[in-house]
Amino acid sequence: MRSTFRSLIAIVSVAFLSASAMAAMPSKNKGKVKAPKPTASSMVDGETGQPSPIKPVKPVPPEEMAFRFFKEALGNYGTWIELGEYGRCWKPSNVGERWAPYTEGSWAYSRYGWTWVSNEEFGGIVYHYGRWMRTFQAGWCWVPDLEWAAAWVSWRYGQDVIGWTPLPPKMDWNPAVGVGVWVDQIHNLGPDNYVFCAISDLDEFNMRDAIFHRSENPSCMLHTVNVTNISLFGKSIFCGGPSYNWVASRVKSVVPVVQIVKERSLVKFREKLNESKDLPLSFRSFIEGGKLTLVAPEWGHLVDPRKADALGFTGEEDEKVTKVQWVEGNPEAPLIKPTGPVAIVEVPLVTGWELLTPSEKTELKIKVAREVAGIDPLTHPAERFNPERDIPTGR
């Protein structure tokens, strides 16, 4: 035992002396201070006297980034102007005097309800975001908004006739209320702003070829009722109106049922269109294999301009748009560009009632009032999605 104990003491002593000797040896690193590891804060803020390798980017509100996206996307197809209380709006170029939204294209149906398939280069944006208003001096103009829907329209139908008109900018989206059959009366939507056609023609590839002459609109409105029913469906907006099954049994051929693909990247969207990068990006709707692909950016992802660039647009700050001074009078009068500051004024709109005789106007106003029988958005919000009514079952 004593021998073993002495051996252990000897081993410990040797180890202690070895460690002491190593500590006494000169070190190459003696006198040097180890540099601290860089942190996220130091990378952004930079060291004292040193430029930061990463420049912080100021976030941009989604509303402003959305406008930058719209301005860049639509710049080749129209003009941006500032319209009084409505702010920055877009007016399409190269359209006829009697042109109206939701006429150059066709109707389809999807899980989001009645869906507009546009034949126009700008249609994939302006018929799914925002609202349209008809002005005396600039015609139809589009007012941007962030909410996506398959089609922002009001619907009317009768025994043989069906019609629709764009919802106005003061029709704000409220998920608790939606848009119901009271929309004509609440927002004063007149017959001349509607377009009508025979129900049997709602499957036309280009509705422009099937739309009645506007002289027939008062009679069409008199013999139809409002069936608008836009409501919240899960986290999406369902654009209801006439029952799909009811329409499908009356059209000559078929109203297609499509799957909507929302593409948030302009880069990928261009690839799907197989378009040259040298050409302006088209937003014409296209259906392939039963799928309708539409651009639908996620605005929350674009508050950082660097992400906007990665998705295919610059996100640059917008330049000032043309301000317009509004005057009462001739609808054909040219836009007046003021020389001084312009006060925000109420923009006079074409309601669609202007061309009616007093007796026609009175008759139709009474008709519209009777349709709703005193109901309003607070007492009668839009009806929720109904599978029996809103799911296609075929012809």
Give the chain's radius of gyration (CA, Å): 32
The CA distance from 138 to 142, in Å, is 11
The CA distance from 281 to 105, in Å, is 19
Q: Which pLDDT tens digit goes with each residue over 148-194?
A: 999 999 999 999 999 999 999 999 999 999 999 999 999 999 999 99
In the sheet where 225-226 sits, what is the strand order? Answer: 195-198, 161-166, 153-157, 225-226
Whose structure tokens read 């301009």? Answer: 305
In a domain, 39, yes or no: no
What average pLDDT does the segment 233-242 reach? 94
What average pLDDT does the segment 319-338 reach? 45
Whole-structure pTM value? 0.78
Q: Which pLDDT tens digit goes with each residue over 92-109?
A: 999 988 899 999 999 999
Residue 172: domain span: 62-389
Both structure tokens of 90: 């877009």
Report the alpha-carbon angle 192-196-348, nearest 5: 20
The CA distance from 123 to 105, in Å, is 9
Q: Where are the alpha helices (DSSP H) in 147-243?
A: 183-186, 217-222
Closest CA to 161 of 208, 194, 189: 194
More confident residue, 223 or 303: 223
Q: Which pLDDT tens digit goes with each residue over 3-22?
A: 444 444 444 444 444 444 44
Asked if pLDDT for residue 46 goes beyond 70, the answer is no
259-263 vs 291-295, strand pairing mode: parallel
- For every residue of 349-378, DSSP letters joined together read B--S-TTS-HHHHHHHHHHHHHHHTT--TT
Both structure tokens of 387: 């599978």
The CA distance from 356 to 364, in Å, is 10
Amino acid identity, residue 56? Answer: P
pLDDT band at 77 (very low <50, low <70, confident <90, very high): very high
What kind and span of H or E run contains 42? helix 40-45
In a domain, 290, yes or no: yes
Q: Where are the beta strands (DSSP E) in 119-258?
A: 131-135, 139-143, 153-157, 161-166, 195-198, 225-226, 229-233, 236-240
How many separate domains does the chain show?
1
- 291 beta partners: 259, 288
Task: Find the largest Cα–Cα distance for the chain.
Answer: 128
In a domain, 57, yes or no: no
Query: What is the sign, positive or negative, of the torsion defined by CA atoms of 22, 26, 28, 33?
Result: positive
More confident residue, 298 or 341: 298
pLDDT of residue 16: 42
pLDDT of residue 29: 52
Q: Where are the beta strands (DSSP E) in 282-389?
A: 286-288, 291-295, 322-323
Both structure tokens of 341: 């500051």
| Residue 276 CA: distances (Å) to CA of 122, 221, 261 | 17, 45, 22
- Give 149's contacts (C-beta < 8 A, 6+ positions apart): 112, 128, 230, 237, 239
Count of helices and strands (H, E) across the chain: 11, 16
In a domain, 87, yes or no: yes
pLDDT band at 395 (very low <50, low <70, confident <90, very high): very low
